[in-house]
Structure 1
Amino acid sequence: MDVSQHYREAWEGFWAATSDLPGEAIWDSDPSLTSVPDTELLLPHADTSLPVVDLGCGNGTQTRYLATRFARAIGVDLAHAAIAHARRADSEGVAEFDQFDLVDAEAVAALHKRIGDTNVYMRAVIHQSEPEARPAVAAAVAVLLGERGRAFVTEPTPASKDVLQLVAQGPDGPPEKLRRVLRHGLKPASATEEEVRRLLQEAGLTTLAEGATTLAQTEYLPDGARVALPARWFVLAPGPTATDGLG
């Protein structure tokens, strides 16, 4: 399957309207708040001699950090405009970036064939994916892991909607970074914890560790506190059926 044209255009439009300045996307927080602590949870379970693929890499902020912890880091994103951002930001060429449709099973299988078993980092992708595409997103993680890879997946919980609503109720309405997300028809926190857990299980993934966390954003509440979205993280391994039918 492929994502819908509307969804593809929404993400192209979002990244085309976003500047190259760090933090311009509301979720583009410094790695010290995101992939650094996430990686510390993943590393005890992962073989760092394997590559890592950053699914939904956006402008590549986290991918560039991941390249310091794994043998090779590849950032992939649906939007050509996002990949253009990522390549411009990676002036030292520490990572690789490629436009990629995560729900295209043939493309996922081809990537696995090209790079072999890989670790996966996926931050907040399922929740904003179209509902009918979410099983394919989870399946892509399983296919890329193969037999030896490990994944770190984190998704905001529905409680995030309350936080975003609070952010939107400022005296001037939603701040520009949130307004840009809404303007392009993107729908944050639209997957429940139960759905995320079920999708991962049905993809044949085994949970090695999990816990509650928050996703740090680049906007602030009126009292000056950083916006942080309630979330849940999972460290995942391939299960006995993880590559059935797609590898």
Structure 2
Amino acid sequence: MGVSERYRDAWEGYWSATSDTPGEAIWDADPSLSSVPHTELLLPYADTALPVVDLGCGNGTQTRYLATRFGRAIGVDLSHAAIAHARRADTEGVVEFAQLDLGDSEAVTALHERIGDTNVYMRAVIHQSEAEVRPAVAAAVATLLGERGRAFVAELTPDSKAVLQQVAQGPDGPPEKLRRVLEHGLKPASVSAEEVPRLLRAAGLTTLAQGDTALAQTAYLPDGTRVDLPARWFVLATTPAVG
């Protein structure tokens, strides 16, 4: 079915208004705070000879790190402007980037047919997706994994909404980085605690490991404390792990 035109335009508008400066996007954390620890959770289950696809790669910060741990790294994002950012930042050409609507099952299947079974990294995509498209996003993970791939998925929990509300109610209103997200109509932390596991199960995904975490942001509270958003992580396969 694909995403709505409104949702697509919101992301194009956001990334078009964002500079190439690292960290300008509120979620553009340094890999040491994001894909580095996440990869350590995934690697015990994953075959690094398979490619890895970063779903919702944005400007590619995490994808470039993933390219150091897997033989091939591919970053996909709904936004053409985001992919343009990612390609400019990838000065050494270590990643393949492409525009992809995760709600378009035919396009996702075509990617799987092109690259075969692959590992997946997906950080905070389901929670801000349109409700009617969330099942397709979870299904996209399963399609790309095939039989041999493994996925790391991290999603904000409802507790993140309270943190964001606290951040937005500072003496000067929301910090600029959060204000731009809200001004473009993007709605973070809009899923229930039960919805993400239910979507993953419905997509035919088996949870191999899971736990609580926090996703580091690039915004800070007035007292200098970094904004960290409560989240839950899952390592997933389409079939139960053997052995």
Q: TM-score range by the shorter chain?
A: over 0.9
Question: Which residue of structure 1 aligns with residue 170 of structure 2?
Answer: 170
Superimposed CA distance per residue, residues 14-52 of structure 1 (whole angstroms, 9 cap, x where no aligned partner): 000100000000000000000000000000000000000
| Contiguous gaps of at least 5 residues in structure 2 | none
Counterpart residue identity of residue 57, structure 2: C
> Deviation string for 1:74-126 (max 9, x for gaps)?
00000000000000000010111000111101001100000000000000000
1:214 aligns with 2:206: no
Q: Which residue of 2 aligns with 1:14?
A: 14
State the one-letter code of the partner of 2:157. T
1:112 is aligned to 112
Secondary structure of the structure 1 residue equivalent to 2:194:
helix
Query: How many angstroms apart in 1 are the aligned matches of 2:223 and 2:197?
Result: 34
Match of 1:243 in 2: none
2:72: which partner in 1?
A: 72
Tell me how far 1:2 sits from its aligned partner: 1.2
State the match for 2:53 in structure 1: 53
Q: Take 1:66 and 1:80, find their aligned partners in 2: how far apart are those partners?
A: 21
Is 1:2 the counterpart of 2:2? The answer is yes
CA distance in 1, matches of 2:192, 2:37: 23
Q: Distance in 2 between matches of 1:59 and 1:199?
A: 26
For the residue of structure 1 that corresponds to 2:36, the secondary structure is helix
Tell me, in whole angstroms, the C-alpha distance in 1 between the residues paired with 2:67 and 2:193.
Answer: 29
Match of 1:92 in 2: 92
* Deviation (angstroms), 1:239: 2.9
Amino acid at match of 1:185: G
Matched to 2:27, the amino acid is: W
| Alignment match, 1:139 | 139
Per-residue CA deviations over 1:43-68 (Å, capped at 9, x if unaligned) read 00000000000000000000000000
Specify the alignment match of 2:239 in structure 1.
239
**Paired position in structure 2 for 1:149:** 149
For residue 72 of structure 2, what is the amino acid of its counterpart? R
Deviation (angstroms), 1:196: 0.1
Amino acid of the structure 2 residue aligned with 1:58: G
Deviation at 1:190, TM superposition (A): 0.2
- Residue identity opposite 1:145 in structure 2: L
Q: Which residue of 2 aligns with 1:193?
A: 193
Q: Provide the C-alpha distance between the structure 2 equivalents of 1:73 and 1:142, rounded to a whole number of angstroms.
A: 18
Using the alignment, how far apart are the partners of 1:9 and 1:96 within structure 2?
A: 23
Cross-structure match for 1:81: 81
1:153: how far off? 0.2
The Cα shift of 1:170 comes to: 1.5
CA separation in 2, counterparts of 1:188 and 1:145? Answer: 26
Query: Percent of counterpart pairs with the same letter?
Result: 81
Note the C-alpha offset of 1:10: 0.1
| d(CA) in 2 for partners of 1:214, 1:229 | 5
What's the RMSD between the two structures over aligned residues? 0.7
Tell me, what secondary structure is at the counterpart of 1:153? strand
Deviations 1:120-165 (Å, cap 9, x if unpaired)?
0000000000000000000000000000000000000010011111
Misfit runs of 4+, over 2 Å: none
CA distance in 2, matches of 1:8, 1:63: 21
Distance in 2 (alpha carbons) for counterparts of 1:174 and 1:124: 20
CA distance in 2, matches of 1:175, 1:205: 37
SS in 1 for 2:21: coil
Separation (CA, whole Å) in 2 of partners of 1:77 and 1:193: 25
Partner of 2:184: 184
